[in-house]
């Protein structure tokens, strides 16, 4: 008896009821991607035609989309499965940040407001950047604005290499990002600087400090690497990970789960360069997961590479690539194992800007003895409550099992 939670980062399925408060009324990550594919607007050298994700559809993704938005996206017509039940969930936490979504999935909604930076230039308080330079031994910082990560590295990367000043920027999320060249600035130095920033930014209630290392020699070939690291504040209450750890359960975390939960109760962490490698890590971790154990994985490419860059074709291809490999995991499930596939927010590649979108998320479950629907849930924390019941753990404070 084991449990797996797979978070398809940013795979939202329709605007949340309060999306208008965030400027996201009408956003629909999966729906708009499927529509673009059906129209041929997502064709490229790597993929063509309607969105083809039959295994996710068989688990009920199309029906989950219908529950969330009232329509089934093109190509996602449901085919009945004997091992699935499905639904959607509306986030209780405020904002549309990665930590909030993951913490709520793990049983801890975020009732408070994160701190954010204004859309001004400069956007960071002078006392903050002065302290960062003093404690980090820096001649200054570049950027100091809201920006797309790839755009600002292309624009300021060469100047950074010449001056030794790191590139500091933010977004609509509660985040302070530091980009630096892996070889010229140094990866360890970048991580150490982010630890300094973490201490300085705690009073500002900033959710994450993100190290954004890159390589290359000019704006034409600057490339962000998979040595990204998040420095998050810890969850304010016990998550399903804490509950499992307190009961001495085997825990495997895959991808940036370890960072998101501030390395608390995350067990054996496995990292990989991209979704394909992360799925390899998931398969290996699941193969060695003890009875009663929990595996928690994040698949980052959907969000970081395609959602934020508003790459519709790339996002569609990534969904199709994940779907192609999903049977490898499904074939390893035993009769008393529980698999939950969900998401933490949206990042609609057809939407304006480059930020996350406030959306409902799918809940797709696979377990041989279950055939009912989950329905529409108010709160991602129901996932943690369901996993706790399945693993016979004490329930988290929030959420109700399906």
Q: Which residue has the tokens 């998101």?
A: 260
Q: Distance between alpha carbon 209 and the CA centroid of its chain, in Å?
A: 15
360, 88 contact by CB (below 8 A): yes
Q: Say if residue 263 is in the same domain as residue 373.
A: yes
Q: Say if residue 73 is in the same domain as residue 147.
A: no
In a domain, 158, yes or no: yes
What is the domain-level CATH number for residue 335?
3.40.720.10
Q: Say if residue 338 is in the same domain as residue 213.
A: no
Q: Say if residue 227 is in the same domain as residue 240.
A: no
Q: Say if residue 253 is in the same domain as residue 367.
A: yes
Domain holding 248, by residue range, is 3-110+236-391
Provide the pLDDT for residue 198.
95
Provide the pLDDT for residue 364.
94
Q: Say if residue 271 is in the same domain as residue 369.
A: yes
Q: Say if residue 74 is in the same domain as residue 40.
A: yes
Q: Distance between alpha carbon 253 and the CA centroid of its chain, in Å?
A: 14
In a domain, 118, yes or no: no
Q: Which of 231, 248, 265 is the last residue of a domain?
A: 231
Q: Say if residue 243 is in the same domain as residue 341.
A: yes
In a domain, 86, yes or no: yes
The tally of domains found in the chain comes to 2
Helices (DSSP H) in 187-303: which residue ranges? Answer: 187-201, 240-246, 257-260, 275-287, 301
In a domain, 269, yes or no: yes
Q: Say if residue 202 is in the same domain as residue 309.
A: no
320, 49 contact by CB (below 8 A): no
Q: Distance between alpha carbon 357 and the CA centroid of its chain, in Å?
A: 12
What is the domain-level CATH number for residue 224?
3.30.70.1250
* Residue 77, Cβ density class (10 Å: 0-12 exposed, 13-18 middle, ≥19 buried): exposed
Q: Say if residue 250 is in the same domain as residue 379.
A: yes
pLDDT tens per residue, the chain (402 residues)?
999 999 999 999 999 999 999 999 999 999 999 999 999 999 998 899 999 999 999 999 999 999 999 999 998 987 555 456 899 999 999 888 889 999 999 999 998 888 999 999 999 999 999 999 999 999 999 999 999 888 999 999 999 999 999 999 998 889 999 999 999 999 999 999 999 999 999 999 999 999 999 999 998 999 999 898 999 899 999 999 999 999 999 999 999 999 999 999 999 999 988 999 999 999 999 999 999 999 999 999 999 899 989 999 999 999 999 999 999 999 999 989 999 999 999 999 999 988 899 999 999 998 645 555 688 999 999 999 999 999 999 999 999 998
Number of Cβ within a 10 Å radius of residue 111: 9
In a domain, 215, yes or no: yes
* Residue 41, Cβ density class (10 Å: 0-12 exposed, 13-18 middle, ≥19 buried): middle
| C-beta pairs of 41-50 under 8 Å, 24+ apart in sequence | 41/312, 42/312, 42/313, 42/316, 43/313, 44/313, 44/317, 46/313, 46/314, 46/317, 47/313, 47/316, 47/317, 47/320, 50/74, 50/75
In a domain, 139, yes or no: yes
What is the three-class DSSP state of 274?
coil
Q: Say if residue 248 is in the same domain as residue 344.
A: yes
In a domain, 115, yes or no: no
In a domain, 116, yes or no: no
173, 207 contact by CB (below 8 A): yes
Rounded to two decimals, the pTM is: 0.89
Q: Which residue has the tokens 């209780």?
A: 92
Q: Which of 231, 263, 298 is the last residue of a domain?
A: 231
Rounded to whole angstroms, the Cα distance separating 59 from 338 reads 13
Number of Cβ within a 10 Å radius of residue 202: 12
Q: Which of 231, 253, 276 is the last residue of a domain?
A: 231
Provide the pLDDT for residue 81.
54
Q: Say if residue 142 is in the same domain as residue 269.
A: no
330, 344 contact by CB (below 8 A): no
């Amino acid at each position: 008896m084991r449990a797996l939670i797979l978070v398809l980062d940013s795979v939202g399925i329709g605007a949340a009821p309060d999306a208008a408060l965030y400027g996201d009324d009408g956003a629909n990550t999966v729906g708009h991607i499927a529509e673009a594919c059906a129209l041929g607007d997502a064709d490229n050298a790597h993929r063509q035609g309607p969105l083809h994700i039959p295994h996710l559809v068989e688990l009920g993704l199309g029906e989950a989309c219908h529950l969330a938005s009232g329509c089934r996206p093109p190509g996602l017509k449901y085919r009945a499965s004997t091992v699935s039940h499905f639904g959607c969930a509306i986030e209780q936490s405020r904002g549309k940040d990665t930590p909030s979504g993951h913490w709520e999935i793990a049983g801890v909604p975020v009732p408070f407001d994160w701190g954010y930076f204004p859309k001004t230039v400069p956007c960071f308080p002078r006392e903050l950047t002065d302290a960062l330079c003093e404690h980090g031994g820096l001649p200054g910082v570049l950027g100091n604005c809201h920006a797309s990560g790839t755009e600002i590295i292309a624009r300021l990367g060469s100047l950074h290499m010449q001056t030794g000043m790191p590139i500091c920027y933010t977004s609509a999320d509660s985040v302070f990002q530091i980009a630096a060249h892996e070889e010229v600035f140094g990866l360890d130095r970048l991580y150490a600087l982010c630890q300094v920033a973490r201490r300085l930014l705690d009073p500002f209630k900033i959710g994450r400090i993100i190290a954004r290392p890159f390589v290359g020699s000019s704006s034409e070939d600057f490339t962000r690497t998979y040595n990204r690291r998040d420095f998050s504040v810890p969850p304010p209450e016990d998550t399903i990970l804490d509950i499992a750890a307190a009961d001495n359960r085997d825990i495997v975390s895959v991808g940036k789960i370890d960072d998101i939960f501030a390395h608390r109760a995350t067990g054996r962490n496995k990292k990989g360069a991209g979704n394909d490698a992360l799925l390899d890590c998931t398969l290996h971790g699941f193969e060695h997961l003890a009875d009663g154990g929990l595996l928690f994985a994040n698949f980052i490419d959907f969000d970081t590479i395609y959602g934020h860059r508003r790459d519709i074709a790339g996002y569609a291809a990534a969904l199709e690539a994940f779907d192609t490999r999903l049977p490898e995991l499904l074939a390893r499930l035993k009769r008393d194992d529980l698999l939950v596939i969900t998401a933490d927010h949206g990042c609609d590649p057809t939407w304006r800007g480059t930020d996350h979108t406030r959306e409902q998320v799918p809940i797709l479950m696979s377990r041989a003895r279950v055939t009912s629907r989950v329905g529409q849930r108010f709160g991602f924390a129901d996932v943690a409550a369901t996993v706790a019941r399945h693993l016979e753990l004490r329930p988290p404070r929030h959420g109700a099992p399906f």
